[in-house]
Structures are given as structure tokens and as C-alpha cells.
Amino acid sequence: MITITKTAANRIDMEFDASSIDEGTMRAALEELIEKADGIEHGQLLYRLHHFPWPSLGAVAVKLEHLPKLFRLLGKFDRCAILSDEAWLRKAADIEGALIPGLEMKAFAMDEAEAAEAWLAAAGSNT
């Protein structure tokens, strides 16, 4: 299951706890994310990745189809914190953060939620 919640005017929390991500799940999640990000400026994202399965080929195709909207969406956010107990996901997030201009990404272990929240909150004091 992918849960997307707009927790503040400039913040979206996403929680991944799925055994699979198929085409329908990906389409619904991307459309919901795009809708909830409408109007956000200098936003913050918090991802909770309990278990992140590889998406199906259909889901990847849906993501590729939405790439132009996703690139515009990324410009709305300044910071993204990722919570996961999977070391490879945290490392991938750190690498991805280095590749996306204008978006700071930082990964935390699941038990470091308070540190992730503090890091996101510090973004507001830097702008």
C-alpha cells in the first residue's frame, strides 16, 4: 500500500508498505501525489519505506509516462527525508539526492524519525 498525506501546506508524507507495485497502484499514487502537491512551494517530503518491492514493468511504464509532470513536481520541493531500515535504499536515496539539482535528500534509519523531522524543520529556518 502507498499512502500519501498532505500534512501541512508545504509538506507531503508518503508511506510505502507494499508487497508489489503494479500499473494501477503506480498510476493512482502518482496522480494523487501530483494533485496533493498542487500549490506547494519550498516543500518538504517525508518517505517511510517499510518495504519497497521492485515495481512491475507496467508500473515503470506509467512512471515514464508521468516523467514531465514529475520533473515539474520536484521543483516544488526543497528537502526530502527518507526513513528506511534497508541500507541499500538509504544509499540509493543519498545518491539520488546528489543527482537532483535543487532538492536536498537525506536518508535515516526508521528509528531516526525524530532526526528526520528535525532535519526537515530546519529547512524552513534556512530559507
Taking the chain (127 residues) in consecutive chunks of 10 residues, what is each chunk's mean pLDDT? 93 86 90 94 93 80 89 90 90 85 92 96 68
- Looking at 18-127, list the stretches that DSSP marks H as alpha helix, in order from N- to C-terminal side: 23-36, 57-65, 67-74, 87-99, 113-126
CATH level 3 topology of 2-126: Transcription Regulator spoIIAA (3.30.750)
Distance CA 88, CA 98 (A): 16
pTM for the predicted model, two decimal places: 0.85
